[in-house]
Structure 1
Amino acid sequence: MNYAKNILETIGNTPLVQLNHIVKDLPCKVFAKVEYFNPGHSCKDRMALQMVEDAEADGRLKPGGTIIEGTSGNTGMGLALAAIVKGYKLICVITDKQSKEKMDILRAVGAKVVVCPTDVEPEDPRSYYSVSKRLAEETPNSWYVNQYDNPSNTKANYLQTGPEIWNQTDGKVTHFIVGVGTGGTISGIGKYLKEQNPDVKIWGVDTYGSVFKKYHETGIFDENEVYSYVTEGIGEDILPKNVDFSIIDHFTKVTDKDAAVYCRKLALEEGLFVGMSSGSAIKGLLQMKGELKPDDVVVVLFHDSGSRYIGKIFNDDWMRERGYLEDEVVTAADLIKNHIDKPLVTVRTEELVSHALERIRKYKISQIPVIDKDGFAGSVEDSDLFAAYMVDANIAEKPIREVMGKPYPVVNRKTKVAEVSKLITKENNAVLVDLENGKFHIITKYDIINSIK
């Protein structure tokens, strides 16, 4: 009989799949190393098991012990599989930017999940680095994994993934590209491939808000480059020991939006249902088009499964809220379609300024059209009312007609966005759109800015 003695024996030997559509503009063949075929659905299964077995071998992890690790989710899943089979407890410390699916999956496989804030410094006692270390110090018979600095992370990819890629390409691979987080994947695979052929190029994909690219190019750790980003699993605000910068030939950065958009493209164009970091990886490769030749053989590693991002990347509302969904915005009606159901807030010429102020506060708006019996007669804005108040503290009891400005321009619903944009100036902050049947809506600077892709 041909069978695995436990789930851990199914780790590795993931397929190499040729990409056809999304890379059609590249001059060479491109293959994806699809790591969601691992039992925990990510490349992290490899290093998680290696780290556990090495810790068992040298006594750091003892029978009945508790494994503790800070993780973006995938390493936690790999550790959970090892813990289940080998009889350990597991505590996963995770940041609040990680998808709900990742947290639910970790709990489903028996891990205790501790959630920490994302937007804090690594040294902050609330950070997931600090909390992981503290829990390891406080928990009897525990082992802190520390995947960032644990050499077994790189070792697993040197012993497994690197040889697999070399053998699957029959030694013809010329370029390897992957998103960089802890560094174990790119460093282990890159070391092995360069030992087989020193001419193989190793390219790392970084994200905006991470320090890797600039540090690689200049040797400067620039804290100004550190800020919050959405992409999970790649980029860092620290320099993990597993990132061997001497092995990496080049870094390219990919935006959160491009990572999300290209993640969805991989599903639609290649049938590969992968996570956001894979979107970063393929977009990073496309950005390097000018460096590729017809005879090159490129391997790009796809880290994990899209099943962990259903509520985020594959949710239209989540994508639209962040401006990632590439809805075509052509006309004035397109600019307001996300809030067209809201009524147009107006004020009459004979109402008091206090009434306008009340509506500005209630509806959290800045511009209000003024109407009279004949239609639109003027406009009032929060900034103008503030300026008027500085001159006359009793302004609130005056009628609107005494402080109102010019009426906003009116366009029809089919007016092109470019024409609407020309009407937004320093002197005019809004445009009214005629939706027909006596209904109007307001277009503001925010709507124009929100349409920029």
Structure 2
Amino acid sequence: MLIHDSLIDLVGGTPLVRLGRLAAGLSATVLVKPEYLNPGGSVKDRAATAMVLAAERDGSLRPGGTIVEASSGNTGIGLAQAAAVRGFRIVVVLPETVAVEKMDVLRAYGAEVVTTPASLPREHPEHVNRLAQRIAEETPGGWFADQYDNPANPAVHHATTGPEIWMATGGRVTHLVAGIGTGGTISGTGRYLKEQGPVEVVGADPATSVYHGGDGSPFFVEAAGHYRHTATVTDTWPRSYHRDVVDRIEVIGDRESVLTTRRLAREEGLLVGASSGLAVAAALRVARGLGPEHVVVAVLPDSGRTYLSKYHSADWLRRLGFLDDDRPGLLADATGPVHTVTTETSLAEAAALAAGPARDQPLVPVVLPGRDPRFATAVSELLGVLDRAVLDRAVLDPAVLARRDPATPVGEVMCGPPASVGTGDTAAEALARLDAAGADHAVLLRDGRLAGLVTRAELAARAFSAGF
């Protein structure tokens, strides 16, 4: 039994595990590296510890100093763990969409948690990175960890994660599959493996992430991909991501990532987050068609224990339309085309839409402008609604519209975000959600994106029919 000087000495050295049921029928070997076995629960323990130790060595982080970082949670947790061991104060800035369990873990380590809206352009002063930088600058002894551009991030994976995979497979690894968040894991690990032999490095990326050319709209896999707000002027990519290392990218939809995450827990005993489901879904694609001489290794970034209220919650999955089951009365068949307007649409244009193509809609959702029309609008970018009654009065009585400038953007007159229900809800469950929101209509979500509209009357009729 070994004795270590501190907990951070336990970071790294995670094993490889062979997939059984999920890889059934494949000739290639599919192995996963469960990085949640690090003491802080994620692969980010490696980068966090390396960054702190490097900053102490070069003097940028001094005794009594404060670590500040922008994070989706895992790097913040790794830094908070290191801060507790090394005796530093820490402030972590998080998007408000991060799982509540991550915030609770950070506070348990003694971190100060600051939340900020997730859907902000990069230039906005409250953007997660800019806010963290400002806090670091304004805090005496503050040090901004900057995982996106800190060279210690990919370097630690080149020094540890890559060698571990090479040694564990006896040099037989032929494919590495990993998500791309900051890019540190795939860049450092992939570079090391390529230096040893002909290993193909495959990135796993959410469908709308800009890394592979998506429109940058929100996705539901935390700790992977690259979001871009439509108002962002200069979209800089992390310097931790070395694009020359990645040979190709597998694009995985949110539903496939989330459902693979659930399968990993139920069929392999691996309780992980959705970034792991993303990586495994991509690894299974890569392995199809490969022969028995091939060994595919996927990195599983974090534990599912910090996502019990999200990916492992049936209620969350049904509410967002990710989970379809065999219960009677689901709303999966209530989907249909929805006419929307953007915040820049004029009131006159919206009134014309309500009188024409959208005349049967109970409301007109207002969405963020500038998105790729091939993708349905993500719920976080459903910014508001135009009340149908107001629009009808404007259509029927031109004097109503005349009292406002017809060119007024609807973003200035819209109501707040609509109530929402999911295709995985029954009509009775959806009615309960409307009651809780005090609403008479709602947007219908499938995979967290706009898929239809429902009214209280429609839901009541469906619930009544399901009762017989």
TM-score by length of 2: 0.70
Cα distance in 1 for residues equivalent to 2:460 and 2:5: 69
Amino acid at match of 1:204: G
Structure 2 match to 1:217: none
Report the secondary structure of 2:266's partner residue.
helix
Q: Deviations over 1:257-300 (max 9, x none)?
A: 22111100000010000111001111112233446232100110
| Equivalent of 1:234 in 220, 224, 231 | 224
Q: Is contact 2:30–2:284 with CA below 8 Å preserved after alignment?
A: no
**Structure 1 residues 326 and 88: CA distance shift in structure 2, 3 A:** same
Q: Is contact 1:434–1:440 with CA below 8 Å preserved after alignment?
A: yes
Write out aligned runs for 1:51-450 (5 A): 51-197=51-197, 199-214=198-213, 225-237=215-227, 238-290=236-288, 292-328=290-326, 333-335=328-330, 390=396, 440=465
- CA positional deviation for 1:228: 1.5
Report the secondary structure of 2:221's partner residue.
coil
Cα distance in 2 for residues equivalent to 1:185 and 1:233: 12
Q: Deviations over 1:159-180 (max 9, x none)?
A: 1111000000011000000111
Q: Is contact 1:16–1:33 with CA below 8 Å preserved after alignment?
A: yes
Q: How many residue pairs align between the two structures?
A: 353
Amino acid at match of 1:205: A
Report the secondary structure of 1:300's partner residue.
strand
Cα distance in 2 for residues equivalent to 1:174 and 1:157: 18
Amino acid at match of 2:317: M
- CA positional deviation for 1:27: 2.1
Amino acid at match of 2:72: S
- CA positional deviation for 1:433: 7.1
Q: Deviations over 1:363-414 (max 9, x none)?
A: x968xxxxxxxxxxxxxxx89x959x84999xxxxxxxxxxxxxxxxxxxxx
Cα distance in 1 for residues equivalent to 2:85 and 2:459: 64
**Structure 1 residues 247 and 391: CA distance shift in structure 2, 3 A:** closer
> In terms of mean alpha carbon deviation, does 285-294 or 51-60 score higher?
285-294
Cα distance in 1 for residues equivalent to 2:260 and 2:18: 17
Amino acid at match of 2:24: K
**Structure 1 residues 430 and 80: CA distance shift in structure 2, 3 A:** closer
Report the secondary structure of 2:244's partner residue.
coil
**Structure 1 residues 297 and 68: CA distance shift in structure 2, 3 A:** same
- CA positional deviation for 1:326: 2.5
Cα distance in 1 for residues equivalent to 2:5 and 2:238: 34
Q: Is contact 2:176–2:297 with CA below 8 Å preserved after alignment?
A: yes
Amino acid at match of 1:128: V
Cα distance in 2 for residues equivalent to 1:324 and 1:431: 20
Q: Is contact 1:278–1:301 with CA below 8 Å preserved after alignment?
A: yes
Cα distance in 2 for residues equivalent to 1:391 and 1:212: 49
Q: Is contact 2:30–2:283 with CA below 8 Å preserved after alignment?
A: no
Cα distance in 2 for residues equivalent to 1:391 and 1:72: 49
Report the secondary structure of 1:225's partner residue.
coil
Q: Is contact 1:432–1:441 with CA below 8 Å preserved after alignment?
A: no
Write out aligned runs for 1:26-45 (5 A): 26-45=26-45
Structure 2 match to 1:10: 10
- CA positional deviation for 1:25: 3.5
Q: Deviations over 1:31-63 (max 9, x none)?
A: 111111100010110111111111111111111
Cα distance in 1 for residues equivalent to 2:362 and 2:75: 45
State the identity %: 41
**Aligned-pair RMSD on alpha carbons?**
3.1
Q: Which has the larger radius of gyration?
A: 1
Q: Deviations over 1:293-314 (max 9, x none)?
A: 3210011010000000000111
**Structure 1 residues 431 and 104: CA distance shift in structure 2, 3 A:** closer
Cα distance in 2 for residues equivalent to 1:155 and 1:432: 58
Specify every segment of 5 or more residues in structure 1 that has no aligned partner in the other structure, as ranges.
215-223, 340-363, 367-381, 394-428, 443-453
**Structure 1 residues 81 and 255: CA distance shift in structure 2, 3 A:** same
- Kindly report structure 1 stretches of 4+ aligned residues shifted beyond 6 Å: 429-435
Cα distance in 2 for residues equivalent to 1:239 and 1:125: 18
**Structure 1 residues 20 and 121: CA distance shift in structure 2, 3 A:** same
Report the secondary structure of 1:253's partner residue.
strand
Cα distance in 2 for residues equivalent to 1:82 and 1:391: 65
Structure 1 match to 2:416: none
Report the secondary structure of 2:25's partner residue.
coil
Amino acid at match of 1:244: H
Cα distance in 1 for residues equivalent to 2:330 and 2:282: 31
Q: Is contact 1:90–1:111 with CA below 8 Å preserved after alignment?
A: yes
- CA positional deviation for 1:194: 0.5
- CA positional deviation for 1:210: 1.5
